[in-house]
Structure 1
Amino acid sequence: MFHSNSMIQSNPAGARERRSFAGLQLVLALLLLATCSQLLAQEPDIPPPFPIGPAPVLHLEQTEHDWGTVLQGTIVKHTFRIENHGRAPLRILKVTSTCGCTSTRHDEWIEVGAAGVVELQVDTLDFSGGRPRKNAVVRTNDPESPEIHLWMMGLVDPLLELESRVYKLQGLSFETKRLTTTILPATETPLELIGARSKNGSFSVHALEPLEKGWRLTLEAGPSETMGSLRDDLELLVDLPERKAVAIPVPVVVEHQDRIRMIPNGNIVFYRRHTAPLDGPVRREVKKELQVRSVRDDLPFEIVSAEIVDAPDGLFGIIVTEVLPGHHYKIVIEVLRTHPVSQAKGTLRIRLGESEDQIREKPIIAQFRLRRPDTP
């Protein structure tokens, strides 16, 4: 009896614990429901993944065409077939091709169950060998395929063997630049190099002479009043049997160089880490050096004057030192003080003579760390 009464007396406490746990579960469930409701209320309307109603479905069996191996100058054409497997007309909105690949024709509308075409062609004249890969981008009204890429690729056998992929005519601006090179046939196909010319007139063809095998070509660029590089194309006119003569383009760079060389070559820049000592606890000089040298021993020069123009007053200082008479000068540029704006500019103007063509200029840039007004 005693044990039975003890068991009966212990049940109320267990019941209270179960009721308390059930109540805690209910509270947590209500909190979770309230949180989810709040998140759903904040969630924006999600658009349907597909347009409501019939839509076109683009089907393309082939996205790449390999033309195998062709001779340089061959125009390769291919037709890509596009089918409409949807329930609405398919429209080709636009065909955009990369350089060297062109779209010759495409069907604008393709009815349900029908097929259309996109015709592409590649002119291999610009490819002197290798395996070019060109593509076109087709934009459609298919919601699943709004943009597709079509590829044209293959090997190109060059017509000519050149000593360089880019011809360079380099020399001083006041001198005539000349380059002589040998050109060989690169194929067993009979061909004749019948002429050569500059596309933009930056240089001239001085001579084209036949050899026992191949040709000797001499290019020439005359003096120029300005320094700098010019880019042009050499067009090599090649006559092929039973084909129209083709003009093979070869890049040419003409460099009219100065008789002096400045080191460093680019702008003179004082970054913030350079100018920071101007307003720091320990003040230090902020300087940079520019070396000016003659490019040849037989071309001495003299710096008549040097100054910094178009700059805030008193911001820069300059000292010119002759290291090797007639051949080497050192110019020291110094930032003398801080500046209220984050960047200041000027121009170093060096005069080598009295005429305007004897002036050389180099940009100077100084950057500064700005302090708040309450900063000591």
Structure 2
Amino acid sequence: MFHNSKIQIPKSKIFKEVLMKKNIVIAIILLVFSAIPSYAADQSASAAQGLPSAVIKDNKYEFKPVMEGTQVVHEFIVENAGTAPLQIERIQTGCGCTTADFTRAIPPGGKGNVTIKANTNGYGGSVFNRHISVYTNDPKNPAMSLFMTGPVEKFADITPPTAVLRGNADKSIETRVSVKPDTKHPFKIVESHMEKSLEGKIEYSLITLENGYVLQIKNSLHTAGQYFGRIILKTDNPDKPEIPITVTGRIG
């Protein structure tokens, strides 16, 4: 026969187990609540960092007619409408005739600028058009476009625009450049000189014609080499007191 018997557990042991469970629960609660401020701080820091936002309200500049050779300068305003610093990383102008200076870092709510300088040499009698790309750290608008355009008046017909002397040193090498004043801008050439980089390398003479001038240029370098420089023609017209003629030589 089996006899039912109750197992007696000491009250002290029961109390210890209850106390242990209670301590575990309290520890878990404290751990959870201690993590909340840290999480909130991380969220606040993340929100504070935010994102930059690049805005250019007026991205096109149309200038009035200018004389060929005039440097056109314009400043475009860039705003940062975001909550983090805006970085202008680089600017692509598309050609060597256009250069750019710019504000590299713009604080939230602040303004910066992109200053474009365009050289209109070679654009006489046509419309100057230039597209400039601005690259920033704005993730929603990483590339923006600027436009500069305007008519360029021709001061003279210069043919060819660059005097090229190329050949063997033991041969006679000559070229001619025709300079004809535009009817809207008559002028006379009153003086001329060559830059130091051409001294000893070329000889030139200026021939006056009824409707313009001819610049006759002859190579005087008798050994293999290269040179580059300009002949400056000074005029009596204050709108364009100087006409630069580029000369390049490659002698073999």
The alignment's TM-score, normalised by the length of structure 1, stands at 0.45
Which whole-Å deviations, capped at 9, do the CAs of 1:163-214 have from their partners, x for residues lacking one?
A: 3234344555313322344311125224343315267428424211333332
Structure 1 letter corresponding to 2:154: P
Structure 2 letter corresponding to 1:182: S
Q: Does 1:140 align with 2:148?
A: no
Secondary structure of 1:162's counterpart equals: strand
Counterparts of 2:235 and 2:107 in 1: how far apart (Å)? Answer: 43
Which whole-Å deviations, capped at 9, do the CAs of 1:17-68 have from their partners, x for residues lacking one?
A: xxxxxxxxxxxxxxxxxxxxxxxxxxxxxxxxxxx64212112233332325
Counterparts of 1:243 and 1:104 in 2: how far apart (Å)? Answer: 27
Secondary structure of 2:171's counterpart equals: coil
Aligned residues: 202
Structure 2 residues without counterparts, runs of 5 or longer: 1-45
Aligned residue number for residue 211 of structure 1: 209
Aligned residue number for residue 155 of structure 2: 159
Q: Does 1:174 align with 2:165?
A: no
Counterparts of 2:103 and 2:243 in 1: how far apart (Å)? Answer: 29
Task: From the superposition, tell whether residues 181 and 239 of structure 1 become closer, same or farther in structure 2 (CA, over 3 Å).
Answer: closer
Deviation at 1:101? 1.4
For the 8 Å contact 1:181–1:217, the answer to whether it is kept is yes
Q: Percent identity, please.
A: 21
Task: From the superposition, tell whether residues 108 and 170 of structure 1 become closer, same or farther in structure 2 (CA, over 3 Å).
Answer: closer
Aligned residue number for residue 111 of structure 1: 108
Aligned residue number for residue 102 of structure 1: 99
For the 8 Å contact 1:126–1:249, the answer to whether it is kept is no
Task: From the superposition, tell whether residues 94 and 169 of structure 1 become closer, same or farther in structure 2 (CA, over 3 Å).
Answer: closer
Deviation at 1:76? 0.9
Counterparts of 1:251 and 1:131 in 2: how far apart (Å)? Answer: 26
Which whole-Å deviations, capped at 9, do the CAs of 1:104-124 have from their partners, x for residues lacking one?
A: 453732432x44322212122
Secondary structure of 1:125's counterpart equals: coil
For the 8 Å contact 1:221–1:254, the answer to whether it is kept is no
Counterparts of 1:107 and 1:56 in 2: how far apart (Å)? Answer: 13
The alignment's TM-score, normalised by the length of structure 2, stands at 0.63
Task: From the superposition, tell whether residues 244 and 83 of structure 1 become closer, same or farther in structure 2 (CA, over 3 Å).
Answer: same
Aligned residue number for residue 11 of structure 2: none
Counterparts of 1:178 and 1:246 in 2: how far apart (Å)? Answer: 24
Task: From the superposition, tell whether residues 151 and 249 of structure 1 become closer, same or farther in structure 2 (CA, over 3 Å).
Answer: farther
Counterparts of 2:111 and 2:101 in 1: how far apart (Å)? Answer: 18
CA RMSD of aligned residues (A): 3.3
Structure 1 letter corresponding to 2:194: R
For the 8 Å contact 2:208–2:214, the answer to whether it is kept is yes
Structure 1 letter corresponding to 2:202: S
> Structure 1 residues 198-207 or 83-92, which shifts more?
198-207
For the 8 Å contact 1:103–1:118, the answer to whether it is kept is yes
Secondary structure of 2:121's counterpart equals: helix
For the 8 Å contact 1:175–1:223, the answer to whether it is kept is no
Structure 1 residues without counterparts, runs of 5 or longer: 1-51, 257-376
Deviation at 1:219? 0.4
